[in-house]
Structure 1
Amino acid sequence: MNEFRPIPPLPHRVMPVFLALSLVLSLVLICAMASRADAAEPQPGNYAKRADVAAFAADAAKKTGVPLAEIQQWLDDAKYQSSIVEAMNRPAESKTWAQYRPIFITPKRIADGVVFWNKYAADLNAISQKYHVNPAIIVAIVGVETFYGQRMGNYRVIDALATLGFDYPKRGAFFRGQLMDFFTLAAKEHIDMNDALGSYAGAMGMPQFIPSSYLALAVDGDGDGKRDLWHSDADVFASVANYFAEHGWVKGGPVGFEVEVKNTAQVADYLNAARDLKPKVTVGQLRQWGIALPKDLYLPDSEKVMLFTLTGPDGVAYWVGLNNFYVITRYNHSTLYAMAVWQLSQAITAARAAVASTEAQARPAE
């Protein structure tokens, strides 16, 4: 009969050695797992050596018709920019209206808008008549986007789109699509990748068109056979006007108005917020809810409108956005942006009229 004998405990001198070995083995295992994870997830940048970038390049060459060698060369040269990702994570549109408005509705931006409009009045009037888009809106778009061409961005577009397409997972698919369109655009318009500068989001030129908008909606306004949104004022004005016309702008039409909402719970499910901007409430519903509408506007009950809030210095205000307001949101999907463009256009129009009146009064009588 075998006698059961318990395993004697390890000598006290052996215990520290045993624990040290266990710790070493654990660290080795953790490092191995980390290395495996690193291998599975590419590090930011280093686009010349990444399998996901190579696969994209092959797909882009097939879909765009641009030679693979050219696409690969552009991507190999692209540089990851951490500041772009940081900027994407703190957009101006995350602010309240009280914070956002003072960025764009300033005395200098209004005064410079008057000067800009007067300088290009002949071109703006001709384009306005052709596309049926108010000159004030064209001027305000350029004023909000790039301060009338003074701030068109300092990032290489290829760097911005590569950074966001391959190293910004939240919207990577969208920016890879824009990158593919940029290859097509560069080949079509003979754009030098090294010279093409834009915003941190890859928007280009005075009106800040993203590549898909540039391809689809930019116009050769000066007839030189090229659509140049960096250097041709005529191309810029015609392109902005065409953008608005294609999205249904009605020249001289109303844009929006503030309303008083007494029963806020009643309208809560119908509010437009964030990127949910499609009109979903009718004028008839507003009337049924007892919301007073401007008496000088013809608004049929069946017309769908936007209903949204803006938080200003005095609290929350309710606004109704009509067709033209919705069209402005097609340029940038934000009620804050659309309101800034509209109010800047109104301020520039009023200031320009005041300047014209002052100049007329100062002229000697004939």
Structure 2
Amino acid sequence: MRYLAALLPIVVLLSACSSKPKPSNDVTETTPQTAKGGFLLDPSHSGQVQMGDFAYDPAMNRFVDKMVSEHGFDRQQLHDVLAQTKRLDYVLKLMDRQAPTTRPPAGPNGAWLRYRGKFITPDNVQNGVVFWNQYQDALQRAQQVYGVPPEIIVGIIGVETRWGRVMGKTRIIDALATLSFAYPRRAEYFSGELETFLLMAREEGDDPLNLKGSFAGAMGYGQFMPSSFKSYAVDFNGDGHINLWDPEDAIGSVANYFKAHGWQSGKKVAVPANGQAPTLENGFKTNYSITALAEAGLSPQSSLDGYQQASLLRLDMGTGYQYWYGLPNFYTITRYNHSTHYAMAVWQLGEAVGQAARQGSVFQSN
């Protein structure tokens, strides 16, 4: 998600389903264990507590104190849950990986083509068409409710999790506990995410020891962090619960996220430019008047929808650079992940899936 723009993804093949992940022992018909102010726990997590790496950690105990005093959690149950969490060293190593500090190449080297090639392939587009076909009703309803087209929703879910196939294998509570109690540099932020995650689990009747996601705690089809769940997730299938591992809830939640971040319905995302502008700074954060871009030697290849300002985007095509006018909807995509390449891949993947779906059987019954 948008909080993880600089992080490297870690993924695992998971089957797309319409329910939250089942307990690891595959017990589905059991009596849940609850406590006042506590969680709905799988029976396999009750009884004798198996101590993890933070059972006697002072920071964990201070966190429990806060959750009890501010949110009314059952102290013993919350302590027992967090005492079972594990320190994940690979999470710490991944978080410490920084962007390369080497100088960018002096000339074009095909960086955009390599990035694009990770997502926009015939097989991936076809998988996107399958998702589009299966959830076309929810996608169309999301457009009606939030004004966000199916292409953008499908593009986000496709880039984030390959439409639910790669939602992550890390137990979320382990990732968040590790980053809260063993990663001082970001402990404050991730403690807030852990707090929100536990509130989510209590509110939605989840066992926090069962839910899995990314190495940084991102969840479900759209890889929402817990804070984004709190602010933007919605019950889009009307079952009374918000479940980011349910594709319909994920579709509605992604659409709501985009509406909240300024998506302009019916407006363009970006327009390719004629010409080159090597002396101008580029990137989704830039802001030029259309007149200034024209004076630099650029002209739009199609209408700019009346916009008088645009960012200047530059894509490395290997043999040269391709320039684009970035419009407000492009900037909105970057609110999900602060990267020009990411936003362009989301948009172009969604467009490719939408075109293929409409040329095929998207509006036909199976």
TM-score (normalised: structure 1): 0.75
- Residues 327 and 63 of structure 1, relative CA distance in 2, 3 Å threshold: farther
C-alpha spacing 1:58/1:313, structure 2 compared with 1 (3 Å)? farther
For 1:111-190, list aligned pairs within 5 A: 111-190=126-205
Alignment match, 1:328: 333
Aligned equivalent of 2:23:
none
Structure 1 residues 27-176: aligned runs within 5 Å: 46-90=53-97, 96-176=111-191
Query: Tell me, what secondary structure is at the counterpart of 1:353?
Result: helix
Q: Deviations over 1:86-105 (max 9, x none)?
A: 33345899994333222111
Query: Post-superposition shift, 1:284?
Result: 3.9
**Aligned-residue offset at 1:220:** 0.7
Equivalences for residues 199-218 of structure 1 within 5 A: 199-218=214-233
CA deviations 1:164-199 (Å, max 9, x no partner) are 223334433322221111121111111211211101
> Quick check: 2:276–2:323 contact (8 Å CA) kept in 1?
no
Task: Tell me if 1:293 matches 2:300.
Answer: yes
Aligned partners of 2:184 and 2:115: how far apart in 1? 27
Following the alignment from structure 1 to structure 2, what is the Cα–Cα distance between the partners of residues 92 and 319?
Answer: 25
The separation in 1 between residues aligned to 2:320 and 2:64, in whole angstroms, is 50
Does the 8 Å contact 2:300/2:325 carry over to 1?
A: no
Deviation at 1:279, TM superposition (A): 5.0
Cα separation, 2, equivalents of 1:48 and 1:130: 46
Please tell me whether residue 234 in structure 1 is matched to residue 230 in structure 2: no
For the Cα contact (< 8 Å) 1:93–1:337, is it kept in 2?
no
- Structure 1 outlier segments of 4+, above 6 Å: 91-95
CA contact (8 A) 2:271 2:304 kept: no
Question: Over residues 246-275 of structure 1, what are the superposed CA-to-partner deviations in whole Å (9 max), with x where a residue is unaligned?
Answer: 11112331111333664533x23xx33xxx
Name the CA shift for 1:315/1:224 in 2 (closer, same or farther; >3 Å).
same
| Alignment correspondent of 1:16 | none
1:316 CA drift (Å): 4.0
For structure 1, the residue ranges without an aligned partner over 5 or more in a row are: 1-44, 360-366
**Aligned length, in residue pairs:** 304
* SS of 1:104 mapped into structure 2: coil
Is the 8 Å Cα contact of residues 80 and 162 (structure 1) preserved in structure 2? yes
| 1:253 equivalent in alignment to 2:263 | no
Contact residue 131 and residue 241 of structure 1 kept, 8 A: yes
RMSD: 2.7
Larger RCO (CA under 8 A, 6+ residues apart): 2
CA gap of 1:115–1:61, structure 2 versus 1, over 3 A, is: same
For structure 2, which runs of at least 5 residues remain unmatched after alignment? Answer: 1-51, 102-109
Q: Secondary structure at the match of 1:264?
A: coil
Indicate the SS of the match to 2:236.
coil
Which sits farther off after the overlay, 342-351 or 78-87? Answer: 78-87
Q: Post-superposition shift, 1:319?
A: 3.2
Q: Distance in 2 between matches of 1:64 and 1:317?
A: 52
In 2, the alpha carbon distance for the partners of 1:170 and 1:319 equals 37
C-alpha distance 60-332 of structure 1, shift in aligned 2 (>3 A) = farther
Give SS of 1:310's match: strand
SS in 2 for 1:280: strand
Aligned equivalents of 2:352 and 2:263: distance in 1? 20
Distance 1:66 1:321, change over 3 A: farther
Whole-angstrom CA distance in 1 between matches of 2:97 and 2:124: 23
Q: Distance in 2 between matches of 1:284 and 1:51?
A: 59
User: What is the TM-score normalised by the length of structure 2?
Assistant: 0.75
Distance 1:279 1:186, change over 3 A: farther
Cα distance change, pair 251–52 in 1 and its aligned pair in 2 (3 A): same
Is 1:281 the counterpart of 2:288 in the alignment? Answer: yes
